[in-house]
A and B are shown apart, each in its own frame.
Chain A
């Protein structure tokens, strides 16, 4: 009988991690629906970005207040996981504060003390984040695309973190009271700079009640963590994992460098080469031209763009720096990312149900992202610059513009006129090529 808690714990842990693994595999499968893309270049630069931008949070602190608060929560999240390791060992083997018996007392006390301080900072950070969203009502959290689930999602994450931190501190406070009562099993271990202020609330409680509180908080805390882990897949909060690979795969060339389409290069070269036989059969082994130019659905995007979509945590820094959005246009770079993920998830569900993708008469273009949004972009790269985790909404906008122009000839009329001008007289305006040097003799 005495092993029941250990067994229950092991089952909870296995279910929690197992279900999470299943969902992560779905994400990987969905991302692989995109085109392969070579990112084997610039390895040193990529790792340096991971250290600077992801681990070092260098882009978060561009906005100092949320940047600092985020560092509290981020460092807390990473460091407190050492404590979760102890909780898992204790849970499986029925030990209590197992690291205390392994580590030197001073180090153990230092660790517990720093976890407590971090937990407190996380709590403050999270409460202020909640205030910024719900009381201060920062504009970027109240944009059109944030209505409904995205807004609730943001708050649910904050509630989760608040509850987890309160449980953690309550657990320590009760533990501390039990230690001072000399309860068996509760070795004197740890230093409690924060929960010492909670412990007095438990004065006068019996040992049994205290054990109930301590165990209750302990169980709810670890179960909460497992539930939260599994909540990630359904939430924008995946960035706590995906930010790292996403930054690694982020753009490492100048932001102004847009990729040249190789398939177009081949065709243009053929067009310009007088020796080419236009009716020649393609040589053996030559890659077929892609089915279409640009992107009208998520399968036309590449895997990094799809990873971008899962990584986006909807902070809206991109949108708040977007000149089109600032001046009231429909375009919001954040919405581009959210739409891409929503459509990818929809296709994933379709595959789950049918074993393979059955055409559903929908696509990313028009059903999710409107042409009006795409044409409002000035390609200024403000969104790319603003993203703290190296997401590139502009690349998706560009791929979709390519589809509109090269597959559908559906550019706005004025743009078509200027492109015709470029084609005919080498300038976007209808001037004569022969007048190009006229400025030389004008005053």
Chain B
């Protein structure tokens, strides 16, 4: 982004990569797949790079409002400094925080989840996708809480899957009643409380009941949780966990 600024240019959209997308080896693949799609659609985009910092979501949901607001205000200063108007992110937690909690602290942006952004690119004809290698494959979609229930977006990811001409099979608990993967509210960074099962295993079992070839995800944390779940059920030979952006990019071997 700093380079754009130095050249006096403004990108069409800022890609908010997020911590998982920047550091987590699995999530970095999602980042790279999404970037391939942005490039293919000739989107003029920028990233903040080393100037990006955690949105503060895990701190806020853990109860640390101080840390959250410090992160938020620092990020808002950077974003406002670059006069950012439009943001896209592949992480529903970043999406939710920037969309809902930044405006009250002075950060007003048009923010889209990457599934919404990709959908709009297809509607505008800037990105074309046909079935490719996923055509007719049995696939189930796991709703991220912070995209679905938290913000009411259930259709964008499903419409993308339809574009891939997959056979979409819904789990028993889906959309507004979708079961959490177990990562939200700071759980990603701590051991679960005592119980009789891990949440990601419960959710993975439900996904496996649909006998899918692929469990489609739209959140880097869900992705990790479901991948671990699939491993716990020793199903990694038969079932892949893929982000929708990866599926679209892979469909055409981008």
Residues of A within 8 A of B (CB): 62, 253-258, 260-261, 264-265, 267-269, 271-272, 293-294, 321, 323-324, 326-331, 372, 375-382, 384-386, 398, 400-406, 411-412, 414-415, 417-419, 422-423, 426-429, 431, 433-439, 442
Contacts and interface: CB of A to CB of B under 8 A. Distances in A.
Nearest to B185: A379
28 contacts: A256-B151, A327-B182, A327-B192, A328-B195, A329-B192, A329-B194, A375-B193, A378-B187, A379-B185, A380-B145, A380-B180, A381-B149, A381-B150, A382-B177, A411-B63, A414-B189, A414-B191, A415-B62, A415-B190, A417-B189, A422-B54, A422-B56, A426-B52, A426-B71, A434-B50, A437-B22, A437-B50, A439-B21
A436 B28 CA distance: 10
B197 A328 contact: yes
A74 B179 CA distance: 30
A405 to B, nearest CB: 4
B69 interface: yes
A380 B149 contact: yes
B217 to A, nearest CB: 15
Contacts, number: 215
Interface residues of B, number: 68
Contact of B196 (A256, A327, A423): A327
Interface in B140-175: 145-146, 149-152
A435 B53 CA distance: 12
B17 interface: yes
Contact of A429 (B23, B151, B202): B23
Interface of B: 17, 19, 21-24, 28, 31-32, 47, 49-50, 52-54, 56, 58-67, 69-71, 73-74, 96, 99-101, 104-105, 145-146, 149-152, 176-177, 179-180, 182-199, 201-203
A438 B150 CA distance: 31
Contacts of B96: 254, 256-257
Contact of A324 (B52, B183, B195): B195
A327 B198 contact: yes
**Chain B residues touching A, majority SS:** helix
Nearest to A268: B69
Contacts of B71: 422, 426
A427 B63 contact: no
A257 B60 CA distance: 11
Contact of B22 (A254, A258, A382, A439): A439
B68 to A, nearest CB: 8
Nearest to A371: B193
A327 B180 CA distance: 11
B6 to A, nearest CB: 16
Contact of A256 (B53, B146, B176, B192): B146
Contacts of B52: 426, 436
A417 to B, nearest CB: 8
Q: List the 3 closest pairs (A to B, CB-CB), nearest first.
A: A256-B150, A401-B63, A328-B196
Contact of B182 (A258, A323, A404): A323
B25 to A, nearest CB: 9
A418 B54 CA distance: 11
B187 A253 contact: no
A433 B54 CA distance: 10
